[in-house]
């Protein structure tokens, strides 16, 4: 590297003296007498730029590209993992939903069966209650009938006594009227 710097410095000092000879009118880049120095500086500049680019700039660019590539790969891996987790969660949610539906169906069925049993028991209890009330009502009706028949006998006896009294003008004996009413009611 020191040798290269020494050559560059020596050439830099020698070129102005060599080029100062005859100055031709026109563009200095096209002067054929300065082609050697231009080519020399082109090679030096190219070499320095090549070294700077290959040793400094390109490694930094490469590092940025590699970091970016690794970040992209990490993001893709994270996205794939998130996708896999989302699919897993979706499957779990669907399984839980199906299980909840099954449990709800069982609960509805159990509730319907319980309601049916309770309705049957209530119907049986109501039937027993209505049967007991019907029996009690029949007994009350029979008692009322017997009471009415007893009252009919008394009323018939009174009516017969009053009718006989009006027809024949005499009050008949109460036992005779009662016996006649009993005979008539027995038929």
pLDDT at 179 > cutoff 80: yes
CA–CA separation, 152 and 164 (whole Å): 17
By CB atoms closer than 10 A (0-12, 13-18, 19+), residue 177 is buried
The residue among 183 and 59 whose pLDDT is bigger is 59
Whether the Cβ atoms of residue 185 and residue 156 lie closer than 8 Å to each other: yes
**pLDDT score for 49:** 94
Average pLDDT for the chain:
85
pLDDT at 177 > cutoff 90: no
- 13 confidence band (pLDDT: 50, 70, 90): low
pLDDT per residue over 73-132, tens digit each? 999 999 999 999 999 999 999 999 999 999 999 999 999 999 999 999 999 999 999 999
**pLDDT score for 171:** 80
Instruction: Catalogue the E-assigned strands of 48-167.
Output: none
pLDDT at 16 > cutoff 80: no
pTM above 0.85, yes or no: no
Q: Identify the CA nearest to 180 among candidates 146, 163, 142, 145.
A: 163
R_g over Cα of the chain: 66
- 2 confidence band (pLDDT: 50, 70, 90): low
**pLDDT score for 160:** 81
pLDDT per residue over 161-170, tens digit each? 888 888 888 8
**pLDDT score for 12:** 61
**pLDDT score for 184:** 78
Positive or negative torsion for Cα 177, 178, 181, 182: negative
């Amino acid at each position: 590297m020191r040798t290269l710097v020494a050559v560059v410095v020596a050439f830099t000092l020698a070129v102005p003296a060599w080029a100062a000879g005859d100055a031709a009118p026109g563009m200095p880049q096209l002067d054929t007498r300065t082609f050697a120095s231009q080519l020399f500086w082109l090679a030096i500049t190219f070499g320095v730029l090549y070294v700077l680019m290959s040793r400094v700039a390109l490694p930094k660019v490469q590092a940025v590209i590699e970091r970016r590539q690794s970040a992209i790969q990490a993001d893709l891996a994270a996205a794939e993992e998130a996708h896999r987790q989302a699919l897993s969660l979706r499957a779990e949610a669907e399984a839980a939903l199906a299980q909840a539906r099954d449990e709800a169906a069982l609960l509805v069925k159990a509730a319907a069966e319980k309601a049916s049993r309770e309705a049957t028991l209530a119907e049986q209890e109501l039937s027993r209650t209505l049967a007991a009330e019907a029996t009690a009502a029949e007994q009350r009706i029979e008692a009322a009938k017997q009471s009415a028949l007893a009252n009919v006998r008394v009323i018939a006896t009174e009516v017969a006594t009053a009718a006989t009294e009006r027809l024949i003008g005499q009050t008949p004996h109460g036992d005779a009227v009662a016996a006649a009413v009993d005979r008539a009611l027995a038929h």
